[in-house]
């Protein structure tokens, strides 16, 4: 039986966008019909490697190749305008995180997608991490979640702080695991190497009593990507990078350590395969625009608390130290 393929393009082929383009060439039900980048040399480099047409504007790609779906992997400030244009032309869209710069923009995109019966997926890639997919089926009533996403500084990311670059991943995971509304958010952070926050810590309390602590930093010497989920009678540890899960169960006075075995795969490949599957089968994605909007709203509140007037004085003094 012949597999139905969907024509897809990638807008923005920088560090992450190049991998979107690569993965689409590896999926049986997708056909990469072109890539777009404002940097003509970059566009040509990727197109030559993948043997697909390249363009410097989305309009040219749409006119010449008529893609049915797009990955939008450009700076966040451009997400809304590009996604809106694509959706209004009847094209399914996957937007990298964070979905937009303002929740109102995300809501507008949701309305356009709903009116046109289009798939609108947000690129929260950690939802497709095999370890997270495993625990999302087993976690029931978390009492406390502790997330650490820290590592050395990368000059590649200097236009945003760690909240929108890193913490938003963990916010989305926490919100997906705790089925309750948020009652309180408390956050702190500081600048060290850039004009944005380079270290941030957030505490989230939910109406059902669950609590979460999220720490992110791009100033640490050692790289760590870990999530601990504490339930009444067990402690679950996730290593995002190795995609391993460890479960410690309390049985009477004893502890039983389990290391579940499950299939592992490249998260981005799972994410894009899911996107194309949703387009082909006309179903809603695992991570939709409402998920992206909710994570963005929490991130914005975290940023507000970090950069409130008192915080701005602290950040300025910290930079002078």
321 CB contacts (<8 Å, ≥6 apart)? Answer: none
How far apart CA 214 and CA 146 sit, in angstroms, is 6
227 and 278 in a common domain? no
- Domain extent, residue 209, equals 127-264+299-320
Q: Is residue 1 part of a domain?
A: no
Q: Is residue 42 part of a domain?
A: yes
133 and 111 in a common domain? no
244 and 138 in a common domain? yes
Q: Is residue 293 part of a domain?
A: no
Q: Is residue 34 part of a domain?
A: yes
| Cα angle, residue 159 at apex, residues 125 and 212 outer, rounded to 5° | 50
Q: Is residue 134 part of a domain?
A: yes
102 and 212 in a common domain? no
C-beta separation of 85 from 22 below 8 A:
no
70 and 162 in a common domain? no
Per-residue pLDDT of the chain (321 residues; tens, 9 = 90+): 567 899 999 999 999 999 999 999 999 999 999 999 999 999 999 999 999 999 999 999 999 999 999 999 999 999 999 999 999 999 999 999 999 999 999 999 999 999 999 999 999 999 999 999 999 999 999 999 999 999 999 877 767 899 999 999 999 999 999 999 999 999 999 999 999 999 999 999 999 999 999 999 999 999 999 999 999 989 999 999 999 999 999 887 888 999 999 999 999 999 999 999 999 999 999 999 999 999 999 999 999 999 885 544 333 333 332
pLDDT value at residue 310? 57
- Specify the CATH number for the domain of residue 104: 3.40.50.720
pLDDT value at residue 2? 64
142 and 59 in a common domain? no
152 and 260 in a common domain? yes
pLDDT value at residue 250? 84
Dihedral pair phi/psi, residue 18, rounded to 5° = -60, -30
Report the candidate in 240, 271, 10, 5 with the shortest Cα–Cα distance to residue 122: 271
Maximum alpha-carbon separation in the chain: 68
How far apart CA 133 and CA 89 sit, in angstroms, is 33
161 and 89 in a common domain? no
pTM comes to: 0.92
Dihedral pair phi/psi, residue 203, rounded to 5° = -115, 125
pLDDT value at residue 320? 30
pLDDT value at residue 223? 96
- Specify the CATH number for the domain of residue 228: 3.30.360.10
Q: How many domains does the chain have?
A: 2
162 and 150 in a common domain? yes
Q: Is residue 252 part of a domain?
A: yes
146 and 94 in a common domain? no
244 and 226 in a common domain? yes
Report the candidate in 225, 170, 160 with the shortest Cα–Cα distance to residue 203: 170
C-beta separation of 169 from 127 below 8 A:
no
C-beta separation of 272 from 94 below 8 A:
yes
Q: Is residue 154 part of a domain?
A: yes
168 and 155 in a common domain? yes
Q: Is residue 294 part of a domain?
A: no
């Amino acid at each position: 039986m012949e597999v139905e393929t969907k024509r897809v393009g990638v807008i923005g082929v920088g560090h992450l966008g190049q991998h979107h383009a690569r993965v689409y060439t590896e999926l049986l039900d997708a056909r990469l019909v072109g890539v777009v980048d404002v940097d003509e040399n970059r566009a040509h480099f990727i197109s030559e490697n993948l043997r697909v047409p390249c363009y410097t504007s989305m309009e040219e790609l749409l006119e010449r190749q008529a893609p049915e779906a797009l990955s939008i992997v450009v700076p966040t400030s451009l997400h809304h305008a590009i996604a809106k244009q694509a959706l209004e032309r009847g094209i399914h869209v996957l937007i990298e995180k964070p979905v937009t710069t303002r929740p109102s923009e995300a809501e507008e995109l949701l309305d356009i997608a709903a009116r046109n019966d289009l798939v609108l997926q947000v690129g929260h890639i950690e939802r497709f991490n095999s370890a997270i997919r495993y625990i999302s089926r087993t976690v029931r009533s978390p009492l406390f979640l502790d997330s650490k996403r820290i590592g050395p500084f990368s000059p590649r990311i200097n236009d945003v702080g760690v909240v929108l670059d890193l913490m938003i991943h963990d916010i989305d995971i926490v919100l997906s695991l705790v089925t309750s509304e948020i009652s309180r958010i408390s956050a702190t952070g500081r600048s060290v190497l850039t004009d944005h926050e380079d270290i941030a810590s957030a505490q989230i309390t939910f109406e059902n009593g669950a609590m979460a602590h999220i720490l992110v930093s791009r100033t640490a010497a050692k790289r760590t990507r870990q999530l601990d989920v504490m339930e009444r009678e067990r402690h679950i540890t996730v290593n995002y990078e190795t995609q391993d899960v460890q479960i410690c169960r309390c049985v009477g006075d004893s502890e039983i350590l389990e290391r579940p075995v499950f299939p592992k795969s490249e998260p981005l490949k799972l994410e894009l395969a899911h996107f194309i599957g949703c387009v082909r089968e006309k179903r809603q994605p695992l991570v939709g625009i409402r998920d992206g909007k909710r994570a963005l709203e929490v991130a914005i509140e975290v940023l507000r608390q970090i950069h409130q007037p008192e915080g701005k004085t602290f950040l300025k003094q910290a930079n002078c130290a």
